[in-house]
Amino acid sequence: MQEKQLTQFSLADGTTFLVEVDEPENIAIQRVALPSGKQVLKAQQTFEEALDKIKPVASAIISKLRDLNQPADEVEVKFGLKLTADAGAIFASVGGEVSYEITLKWNNKSQGV
């Protein structure tokens, strides 16, 4: 089992927060001291920068679902994200596979029923 490590992420406005992540293999990651004196890893990018990597994937999924012959009235896409100190946000895998849960809903009115 991989060791866990606290990592400090920051928001664009400078707000910081801690996330428990797997100990990174890259030992060159900078460490910062908390007011308590405890040392934590410093994320290599802001939280927003990490999430920017996910946006194109989510947009592609939604775009393709909108192109259905009979587009759904509601679309819900769920996927897991994992934060890392060095890579930012990555899609989380279960058993080595990344999965998406997609729910499409059609209202009877929109189908002319």
Q: Which residues contact 111 (CB under 8 A, 6 or more apart)?
A: 70
pLDDT recorded at residue 113: 44
Distance CA 113, CA 94 (A): 40
Distance CA 33, CA 48 (A): 22
Apex CA 82: angle with CA 79 and CA 84, to 5°?
155
Q: Low-confidence residues of the chain, pLDDT below 70?
A: 1-2, 26-27, 94, 109-113
pLDDT recorded at residue 66: 87
Tracing tokens 């059609």 back to the chain, one arrives at 106
Tracing tokens 């775009």 back to the chain, one arrives at 63
pLDDT recorded at residue 4: 86
Structural domains of the chain, count: 1
pLDDT recorded at residue 26: 64
Which range marks the domain in which residue 90 is found? 4-111
pLDDT recorded at residue 60: 92
Report the predicted TM-score, pTM, of the whole model to 2 decimal places. 0.69
Tokens of residue 91, six digits: 């899609």
